[in-house]
C-alpha cells in the first residue's frame, strides 16, 4: 500500500538499515488514522526484501514481497484487536515463542502490536522480558495513540518515532489521479484533516462516510430535543460498541467546527453547520476526550457515558 506523507520518517528508517543501526524495538506514536501501521508494514516489507542494495521501496517481486502482497508472511505477526479488546498475556507469550523460532525465509522475525496501550499489565510485564533480551534478527514495532498508558520501562527500551498530521497538499497530490471533482477532493481533504488512513478507508468504502454522516445527523437533531428523547435513543442502541463510533464521529465533527472558527473559508466544506461559541466548542471537545478515554480504558457503562455526553450537547 502506498505511503502517504511521513517521508522524513521513512528516510530515517531506511538509513538506519543501510547504516546497520536498526533498533530491535520501535514505538510509533500519534493520533489514529495517520498511517502508522501502514508505514510499519511497508518498512518490514523493505527490510525483508531480497533485492539488494535497498531501493527506496521494496521490489514487490521477490518471494518475501510476494508473501506480503498476499497479506501473509511466515516471519511476521500482527497483533490487532479490531474490537478494542484488551491484549492478553497469552498473545504476548505467542510472540515470545514466535521470536524464538528460526526464520522461514532468512528474514527478520518481526512483530507489530497495534493499539499497544491495550495490553494488560500482565501482558506488558511479559513483553518487557522480550525487550530486555532481544535475540538475533528480530524487530518489534509498538503502535499507539496513547504512549503514556504504556509502562515507561517498555517505552524506554524502544526508539520513539512520533507521527503528525499529513499536510493538505500531500493528500491533494494523492487524490490527483482519483476520479473526483475538485470540489469533492477539497471536501475530503477537509473532512479527513491530515489523516491518510481515514481517506484510504473512504476510497475503499465510500458508504462508511455516508453512514457516519447519518449518525452525526441523528445526534445533532437529538441535541435540539428534550433529555427524554436523547436517553430513549441511547437506550435503543442495540450494539454497545456503537458508542465508541459515535464518540469518534463527534470528536471529528467538533474539531472541524473549531477549525472553522479560526479559518472561515473552511466552513464552506462543513456538511452540517451548528452555531456554537468558541468556549462551548472547547468545552464539548474536552468532555469528548474525557469520555473517549473512559469508554476505552475503564469499565464505565458505555451507554451511561453517552448519556453524560448528551447532557452537554
pTM of the model: 0.85
CA pair distance 140, 238, nearest whole angstrom? 38
CA distance linking residue 88 with residue 123, whole number of Å: 6
Per residue in 49-107, pLDDT (tens digit) is 988 777 788 888 999 999 988 888 999 999 987 667 889 999 999 999 999 888 888 88
Distances (CA, A) of 22 to 57, 91, 110, 176, 279: 17, 25, 13, 35, 46
Residues 278 and 307 sit within 8 Å (Cβ to Cβ): no
Q: What is the pLDDT along the chain (313 residues), one digit of tens a residue?
A: 678 999 999 999 999 988 888 999 999 999 989 999 999 999 999 999 988 777 788 888 999 999 988 888 999 999 987 667 889 999 999 999 999 888 888 888 999 999 999 999 999 999 998 898 877 889 999 999 999 999 999 999 999 999 999 998 999 999 988 888 888 888 888 778 889 988 888 888 888 878 888 888 888 888 888 888 888 888 887 776 678 888 888 888 888 777 765 555 444 545 555 667 788 888 888 888 888 888 878 888 888 888 888 887 7
**Rg of the Cα atoms in the chain:** 22
DSSP-based helix, strand, coil % in the chain, nearest 5: 55, 10, 35
Q: What topology does CATH give the domain 7-162?
A: Rossmann fold (3.40.50)
Q: Which residue has 510509533 as its cell numbers? A: 28
Grid coordinates of 201: 478507508
User: Could you say which DSSP state residue 159 is in?
Assistant: E
What SS3 class is residue 54? Answer: coil
CB atoms within 10 A of CB 39: 24
CA dist., res. 173 & res. 176, Å (int): 5
- Quick: pLDDT tens for 222-254: 888 888 888 888 888 777 667 888 888 888 888
Amino acid at each position: 500500500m502506498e505511503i502517504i506523507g511521513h517521508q522524513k520518517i521513512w528516510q530515517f528508517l531506511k538509513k538506519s538499515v543501510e547504516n546497520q543501526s536498526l533498533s530491535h524495538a520501535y514505538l510509533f506514536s500519534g493520533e489514529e488514522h495517520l498511517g502508522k501501521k501502514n508505514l510499519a508494514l511497508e518498512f518490514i516489507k523493505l527490510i525483508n526484501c531480497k533485492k539488494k542494495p535497498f531501493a527506496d521501496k521494496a521490489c514487490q517481486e521477490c518471494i518475501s514481497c510476494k508473501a506480503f502482497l498476499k497479506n501473509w508472511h511466515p516471519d511476521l505477526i500482527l497483533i490487532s484487536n479490531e474490537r478494542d479488546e484488551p491484549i492478553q498475556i497469552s498473545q504476548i507469550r505467542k510472540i515470545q515463542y514466535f521470536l524464538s523460532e528460526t526464520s522461514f525465509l532468512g528474514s527478520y522475525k518481526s512483530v507489530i502490536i497495534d493499539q499497544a496501550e491495550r495490553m494488560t499489565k500482565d501482558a506488558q510485564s511479559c513483553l518487557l522480558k522480550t525487550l530486555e533480551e532481544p535475540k538475533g534478527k528480530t524487530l518489534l514495532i509498538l503502535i499507539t495513540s496513547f504512549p503514556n498508558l504504556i509502562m515507561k520501562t517498555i517505552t524506554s527500551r524502544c526508539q520513539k518515532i512520533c507521527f503528525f498530521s499529513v499536510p493538505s497538499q500531500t493528500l491533494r497530490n494523492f487524490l490527483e489521479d482519483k476520479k473526483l471533482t475538485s470540489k469533492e477532493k477539497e471536501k475530503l481533504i477537509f473532512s479527513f484533516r491530515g489523516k491518510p488512513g481515514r481517506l484510504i478507508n473512504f476510497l475503499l468504502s465510500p458508504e462508511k462516510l455516508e453512514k457516519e454522516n447519518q449518525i452525526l445527523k441523528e445526534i445533532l437533531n437529538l441535541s435540539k430535543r428534550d433529555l427524554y428523547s436523547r436517553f430513549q435513543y441511547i437506550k435503543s442502541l442495540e450494539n454497545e460498541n456503537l458508542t465508541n463510533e459515535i464518540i469518534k464521529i463527534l470528536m471529528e465533527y467538533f474539531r472541524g467546527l473549531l477549525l472553522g472558527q479560526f479559518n472561515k473559508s473552511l466552513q464552506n466544506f462543513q456538511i452540517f453547520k451548528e452555531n456554537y461559541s468558541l468556549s462551548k466548542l472547547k468545552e464539548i471537545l474536552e468532555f469528548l476526550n474525557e469520555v473517549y478515554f473512559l469508554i476505552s480504558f475503564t469499565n464505565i457503562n458505555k451507554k451511561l457515558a453517552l448519556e453524560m455526553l448528551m447532557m452537554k450537547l
